[in-house]
Amino acid sequence: MSHIMIAGGGIAGLTAALALHRAGFEKITVVETAREIDPVGAGLNIMPNAVRELDALGLLDRLEAGAVCTRELRYYHRGGGLISREPRGLGAGYHWPQLSVPRAHLQLTLADAVRRRLGPGALVGGVRVTCVEALPGGRPRVQLEHRDGERRSHASLEPDVLIGADGIRSAVRAALNPGEGEPPWNGMLVWRGVSRMAADRAGTFMLVAGDDRRKAVVYPMTEPDASGEVLVNWALAMPAASLADATRGDWNREVPLAKFLHHYEGWEFDGVSVPEVLAAADTAFEYPMVDREPLERWTCGRTTLIGDAAHAMYPIGSNGATQSIVDGRALAHAMALHPDPAEALAVYEADRRPAMTELQQANRRLGPEVVIDIAHRRAPGGFADVEKVIPAAERAEIAAWYAEKGAFDPKTVNLGSPYDVPVRSPR
Ligand SMILES: Cc1cc2nc3c(=O)[nH]c(=O)nc-3n(C[C@H](O)[C@H](O)[C@H](O)COP(=O)(O)OP(=O)(O)OC[C@H]3O[C@@H](n4cnc5c(N)ncnc54)[C@H](O)[C@@H]3O)c2cc1C
């Protein structure tokens, strides 16, 4: 029986564990640095192509119970003019919804399913992968550090397959690509947080607004509670002169709202006031906008990468976690169909890497959000008629270009998952 080790219990690693288990693999261990799964970050939008894969894993009902099915996305000019309204998810004819979901709900749903289906020992917290080397024949040797309070111990394991799902600063990626260094920064800072507020002040759509410098993304991610309140996710982006006081790649850095609130005064879009949303937040987190250079290869022998470890991209177009989920299913599919692990990993990489490279590059060109820049460039002071600034045909072309890059156009998604595998006897 093959032993598959997954480094990292984030969205990618946990989804891969569930997908591999569904494909008949039984000996799977997820090692996670954090002692407890304690998701930081605010909310996520998961696109229908990934929701389809989560549905195939039997998780949709539970996820929907703590999320919002987003039906509309609106782009606004910084001056208030509506650039476009796009139907999303079920509203756009997909067979699966687009989910706006608290990160904690998604990650804890996945972690709970891993423990229930694979057994309590399948997800081991407090264990960090420190080093990986390839043995003759391609099998990985993995060095692990176990932390228990102040105590540290070390171990070395030789699983049959190693999957690096350890995020943007992946140790597994570093072992495959020595000398790569820190994730490159594009000079923008992102602030994000969660606000609890009355549902009728939160809008019923996902809002993306701004100009060629500042941007705001706001959307509700829970249904109204008994007191009529919802959780609203927000993220702001702005260029920073220097990163002197920011920690690269650390999205858990708390900063006072006063640091940026004044930049968004007067930002109000069809009843959603950005300052009001921000004022309702307890805390804000700062994050430098970083990604990773596309790699020439993700795989070496029996080791490969998934999720941000493979293709971290700018948080534009709701694709980082979305594609990490698809990776997990694609990997399990390849491993189920190809008994030779090295061949399976190569097949997975050939399926996913070219498309993810294009998506990383598309996000460097601002992805679908480029419509805001175009509108601002052509009409810096605002507009009376959007058709004269950025016509519907041009907007539709941009949306279609990006949907094709991410393989989430409705026609492709509605064909059903290409990653379903017949359930096999345990391996
Ligand atoms: C502001 C912002 C907004 C975003 N919005 C969206 C969105 O709307 N939709 C979307 O799809 N995506 C979004 N993303 C991207 C998304 O958050 C990531 O793409 C996604 O979390 C990647 O998941 P992952 O499991 O690959 O990595 P991570 O979530 O980073 O998980 C990696 C895990 O590995 C663990 N780990 C790290 N190193 C080691 C090690 N050496 N050994 C063992 N464990 C280790 C970590 O503790 C962590 O738990 C956003 C990102 C940002 C910054």
pLDDT of residue 405: 86
pLDDT of residue 36: 85
- Record the pTM: 0.96
pLDDT of residue 378: 95
Ligand 1 centroid distance, CA of 191 (Å):
16
Q: Which ligand 1 atom is nearest residue 14's CA?
A: 25
Q: How many CB atoms lie within 10 A of CB 354?
A: 11
pLDDT tens digits along 159-218: 999 999 999 999 999 999 999 998 999 888 999 999 999 999 999 999 999 987 899 999
Which CATH code for domain 3-42+100-182+294-366?
3.50.50.60
Second CATH level (architecture) for the domain 185-290:
2-Layer Sandwich (3.30)
Ligand 1 centroid distance, CA of 319 (Å):
11
Q: Which ligand 1 atom is nearest residue 310's CA?
A: 26
CA distance 128 to 123: 12
Mark the ranges of the chain whose per-residue pLDDT is less than 70.
Answer: 1, 39-41, 241-252, 423-427
CA distance 399 to 366: 12
Cβ-contact 134, 86 below 8 angstroms: no
Residue whose Cα lies nearest atom 13 of ligand 1: it is 320
pLDDT of residue 243: 47
R_g over Cα of the chain: 21
- Every domain of the chain and the residues it spans: 3-42+100-182+294-366, 185-290
Q: Spell out a b/e string for 261-297, using b for 16 or more CB atoms within 10 Å of the CB, else e.
A: beebeebebeebbbebbbebbeebbbbbbbbbebbee
Is residue 100 within 6 Å of ligand 1 at its C-beta? no
pLDDT tens digits along 368-418: 999 999 999 999 999 999 999 999 999 999 999 998 888 889 999 999 999
pLDDT of residue 424: 60
Q: Which helix (H) or strand (E) holds 287?
A: strand 284-290
Q: Does residue 158 sit in helix, strand or coil?
A: coil
CA torsion 110→113→115→117, rounded to 10°?
-140
Q: Could you tell which of 6, 30, 32 is best to mutate to test the pocket of ligand 1, judged by most ligand atoms within 8 Å of the CB? A: 32
CA distance 110 to 126: 18
Is residue 7 within 6 Å of ligand 1 at its C-beta? yes
Point out which residues pair with 229 in neighbouring strands.
Answer: 198
Is residue 407 within 6 Å of ligand 1 at its C-beta? no
Ligand 1 centroid distance, CA of 167 (Å):
5
Is residue 167 within 6 Å of ligand 1 at its C-beta? yes
CA distance 7 to 93: 37
